[in-house]
Amino acid sequence: MPQKTEEGEQEQLPDEEMSGKKRGLVLPLLLALAAAAVGGAVGTTLLGPAVGPWLAARAAQKEDDSHGGGHGGGHGGGNAQRLHSLENLVVNPAGSQGTRYLLVSVAVEPKDPGMVEDLAELDVPLRHELLSILGAKNVEELSDIAKRQELVEELKEGLAHVVGEGVISRIYLPQYVIQ
């Protein structure tokens, strides 16, 4: 019988070691999940709104630089003068009964950088058109990343009704949070 006890003890030792290892992994795993949640919340609420417009303007600048540019006149004003930003639009998607919302910022780049001031004067009608288009979409349509480019094209067409055809070069969505 002592052999059974020794065997029993030997069999139980690996189980005890395994449960100790499992317990040792739970705390780091919980800490990692908590850190990810806090990082995500900080990123979407603080960093995203602050950095989004800057990234959109920077992307627009890189695209123009890659085309060879060569305007000759030199507008020297930087990216902020080439985009009109419509910040923090809040939309309730169709069919959500107010339980869901989309927080979006839209940056409009006109073909002629001199049109930025004209776009600023049309800020209210531009916002109205964006809210109308986005508010007609349901949550599934707004959250499908594969349809994002289609949505951008639809927004561009809608804004063309307000500012005229051929005025808008590109539209950026530097902030797009659906809750």
* 108-164 tens-digit pLDDT: 999 988 889 889 899 999 999 999 999 999 999 999 999 999 999 999 999 999 999
In Å, how far are 29, 32, 111, 147 from 106, measured between CA atoms?
38, 33, 16, 16
Angle between helices 123-135 and 148-163 (to 10 degrees): 140
d(CA 59, CA 66): 11
Instruction: Tell me the DSSP string of 3-47.
Output: HHHHHHHHHHHHHHHHHHHHHHHHHHHHHHHHHHHHHHHHIIIII
The predicted-structure confidence for 132-142, as pLDDT tens digits, reads as follows: 999 999 999 99
Helices (H), ranges, 43-138: 48-66, 116-121, 123-135
Q: What is the pTM of this model?
A: 0.56
CB-CB contact of 156 with 168 (8 Å): yes
Half-sphere exposure of 121 (CA within 13 A, CB side): 6
All domains of the chain in start order, with CATH: 1-67+79-179 (3.30.479.30)
Q: 168-177: per-residue pLDDT in tens? A: 999 999 999 9
Instruction: Quote the CA–CA distance of 148 and 166 in Å, as a whole number.
Output: 21
